[in-house]
Amino acid sequence: MSSQLHYLEAHSLTTSTQQEVAKKRTRRTVKHQRAIVGASLDVIKERRSQRPEARSAARAAAVKEGKEKKAAAESAKKAEKAKNAAASARGNAAKVSKQGAKGAAPKVQARTR
């Protein structure tokens, strides 16, 4: 046997010794849905099946409600601020700094001037 033939036999490169290999079949990926942290799969499917108009109307209602809540909180904050301003104007008490309010020692005033 020649050296070339011996090499081909050893490395399975000859056609005489090759066996037919069945073609490998590729596996198709299976698509499936999973729930998200905030919503179960049933809720997601229900929302997906909704009509776009209903979905946009629900979104608009949620945005409106959020804006109303924010406006109410802001008006309450303004009322509180006005109440505090009126109380400080009536009392004319010495202004206390933030550090003073927390309990820090008062600043020592200069006595020479």
**pLDDT above 90: percentage of residues in the chain:** 20
Q: What string of DSSP letters covers 79-96?
A: HHHHHHHHHHHHH-PPP-
Dist. CA 65–CA 73, nearest whole Å: 12
The predicted model scores a pTM of 0.38
What pLDDT is recorded for position 83? 87
- Lowest mean pLDDT segment, chosen from 18-27, 28-37, 54-63: 18-27
Dist. CA 20–CA 24, nearest whole Å: 12
pLDDT value at 93 more than 60: no
| Predicted confidence (pLDDT) per residue in 36-47, tens digit | 888 888 888 888
Structure tokens at 63: 């945005």
**Cβ atoms of residues 83 and 90 within 8 Å:** no
| Predicted confidence (pLDDT) per residue in 45-77, tens digit | 888 888 889 889 989 999 999 999 999 999 999
